[in-house]
Amino acid sequence: MRRIAGPILVAVLLQCGALFGQDIGWPPAQVAKTGAKPYPIGTTYPDDTAMQEGVTWPNPRFTSNVDQNGDGDCSDAGEACNGTVTDNLTGLVWLRNADCGVFYQGDPNAGNQRGGYSALISADNLAQGYCGLIDGSSEGDWRLPNIGELGSLVHFGEYLPAVPDTIGTGKNTEGNPFFSIQADPYWSSTPDMNFWIYDPPYYWGIDFEYGDRVSHWGLEQCHVWPVRTGAPVFADGFGPASTQQWTSEGP
């Protein structure tokens, strides 16, 4: 078989990229707005509340599946809620119930809060028939989000909980779009390497009271909010970048 010369191959790839509207190479990941709001007393500082940098959130920010008329809600006539919510900013699909107590048959835990290892297992074993799911998902479809994914839910202009509503202009209220968000820490799957010598390890998490990033030892009790990947979302489609995990040899 003949080999294609290097310059010719590059030219072909560039042409293919132009045809499909994609640059060859990985485009820079875009960062969304934080949701920070202007100070209520009228004071102005050159900070995030004034500059409002970042990618504008879509409207609606979330879609409760399966919405058919485009308003983000799934409770209108002729619609049926399947227990999932799609974040239209990131493409991630979240469990609508943020305080599920039983994730799989034989789940030994009582309630949503559990240790770090149990949180990983619970999310991985989640499937249709539990936590209000009628989405056809199977074990292994769901997982515990990494810290970037979990943090993408934070609305820094709100608190109790610091999570946006369906439209994205206010804070989540019950069923709009999520149920039972706790103003407490939730586990992520990202280890805190400041405490890498511990077994079990510490894991990063988000406290949705104010949206703070926190770290907890794996034997402590935090909440579990599973996620799964929806339609492919690339960096130029505002998907959150993956976290970089380090070992003793480097990344």
User: The whole model's pTM is what?
Assistant: 0.79
Q: Considering the domain boundaries, does residue 21 fall inside one?
A: no
How many CB atoms within 10 Å of residue 170? 14
Q: Residue 173: give the domain boundaries.
A: 34-246
Residue 232 confidence (pLDDT): 40
Q: Considering the domain boundaries, does residue 64 fall inside one?
A: yes
Provide the 3-class DSSP secondary structure of residue 202: strand
Q: CB-based burial of residue 128 (10 Å sphere; 0-12 exposed, 13-18 middle, 19+ buried)?
A: middle
Q: Considering the domain boundaries, does residue 180 fall inside one?
A: yes
Q: Considering the domain boundaries, does residue 29 fall inside one?
A: no
pLDDT digits (tens, 9 = 90+) for 2-46: 444 444 444 444 444 444 444 445 667 778 888 887 777 767 777
pLDDT digits (tens, 9 = 90+) for 170-188: 999 999 999 999 999 999 9
Taking a C-beta distance cutoff of 8 angstroms, is the pair 39, 157 a contact?
no
Q: Considering the domain boundaries, does residue 14 fall inside one?
A: no
Residue 116: enclosing H or E segment and its boundaries?
A: helix 116-125
Q: Considering the domain boundaries, does residue 4 fall inside one?
A: no
Q: Considering the domain boundaries, does residue 18 fall inside one?
A: no
Strands (E), 66-144: 84-87, 92-95
Q: Which residue has the tokens 């309630």?
A: 111
Residue 216: enclosing H or E segment and its boundaries?
A: strand 212-217
The residue type found at 206 is I
Q: Considering the domain boundaries, does residue 131 fall inside one?
A: yes
| Number of folded domains that form the chain | 1
